[in-house]
Amino acid sequence: MTLLDVNIKSAGYEKGKEIIHNIHFNVKKGELIGLIGPNGAGKSTTIKTILGLLENKEGTISFKENAKYSYVPERPIFYDELTLWEHLDFIAAVEALQEKEYKEKARELLELYKLEEHAHEFPGKYSKGMQQKAMLILSMITNPDVYIIDEPFIGLDPNAMKLFLRLIETEQQRGAGILMSTHVLDTAEKVCDRFIMIHNGQLQAAGTLEDIREQCNLPDGSLYDCFHFIAEGNPDE
């Protein structure tokens, strides 16, 4: 079942200056899709287009009817005046979550990410990794159908990264679909079901690792080799 269908003909920040072109893919139930590409390729622009943040867009973005999504931005954003618990309460109020359930889930996530002792502090004052963990907790509290996650690994320590991957797998088993942009290719290669590779604002290759290898003509290549081929044109240089 398709949860998100992306058909972007073009999109950009200013009229007449389109940055991404012809980016088409979908995210199905239970799938983890890796959005891969060099700096400036257009990954965040693709994500912003999906979120409806760019007015200058041609094409269509369709979420399954009534699908809820959570977005985790590359740089964490918090309300200055709210503690982490107050952020959770705020989301719960907006989403009309059952109090007992979300509080239980929040406590569990706070404990797993080792933030329970900091839950009554302002996340704006957390370290970078703690902020990233807080964003991930906030994204999971609503049990979304679709996650859109822009580079989750920056700042996470190895234990937090392992925990995040475990929780994401659980979310996939629950049926959530996940679109995740990342530069951590060895991890992406292990955990993603399919990949969307973009360069210069264009879709360059898409599919499973096998499909991508075939499209790059690198039958034994790693995801990094394929990335290098797409970004630089030659895997041995």
Ligand X SMILES: Nc1ncnc2c1ncn2[C@@H]1O[C@H](COP(=O)(O)OP(=O)(O)OP(=O)(O)O)[C@@H](O)[C@H]1O
Query: Applying CB under 6 A, which residues contact ligand X?
Result: 13, 19, 37, 39-45
Give the residue among 14, 3, 22, 158 at the shortest CA–CA distance from 70: 3
For the bound state, the minimum distance from the C-beta of residue 162 to ligand X, rounded and expressed in Å, comes to 23
Q: How far is the CB of 132 from ligand X (least distance, A)?
A: 15
Answer whether 54's CB lies under 8 Å from 17's CB: no
**Smallest separation, CB 214 to ligand X (Å):** 24
Cβ nearer to ligand X, comparing 63 with 227: 227
Q: In whole angstroms, give the CA distance from residue 155 to residue 61.
A: 30
Give whichever of 2 and 44 is closer to ligand X, judged by the CB atom.
Answer: 44
Question: Distance (Å, rounded) from C-alpha 89 to C-alpha 62?
Answer: 29
Compare residues 91 and 231 and give the one whose CB is closer to ligand X.
Answer: 231
In Å, what is the CA distance from 228 to each residue of 45, 181, 200?
Answer: 21, 16, 14
Residue 47 C-beta: closest distance to ligand X, Å: 8
- Closest CB to ligand X among 3 and 50? 50
Residue with smaller CB distance to ligand X, 42 or 144: 42
Report in angstroms how near the CB of residue 39 gets to ligand X at its nearest: 3
